Amino acid sequence: MRESSTRMGLGVSPDSHLLNSFSFRLVNPSDGRVVSNFIVQALKGEDLTVYGDGTQTRSFQYIHDLVDGLILLMNSGESRPVNIGNQDEFTILEFATLVRDIVEKVQDEDGVKRTRRSQIVHKGIPTDDPQRRRPDTTRAKETLNWQPRWDVRMGLEEMVRYYKAKMSEGSL
Over residues 81-94, the pLDDT tens digits come to: 898 888 889 999 99
Average pLDDT over residues 25-38: 79
Q: How confident is the model at residue 165 (pLDDT cuts 50, 70, 90)?
A: very high
Q: Where are the domains of the chain?
A: 2-164
What CATH homologous superfamily does 2-164 map to?
Answer: NAD(P)-binding Rossmann-like Domain (3.40.50.720)
Q: How confident is the model at residue 11 (pLDDT cuts 50, 70, 90)?
A: very low
User: Distance (Å, rounded) from C-alpha 168 to C-alpha 172?
Assistant: 8
Q: Between the ranges 9-13, 33-37, 123-127, 152-156, where is the mean pLDDT highest? A: 152-156
Nearest to 85 by CA among 25, 18, 26: 18
Residue 144 has pLDDT above 60, yes or no: yes
User: Distance (Å, rounded) from C-alpha 172 to C-alpha 166?
Assistant: 5
Q: Phi first, then psi: what are they for 28, rounded to 5°?
A: -85, 130
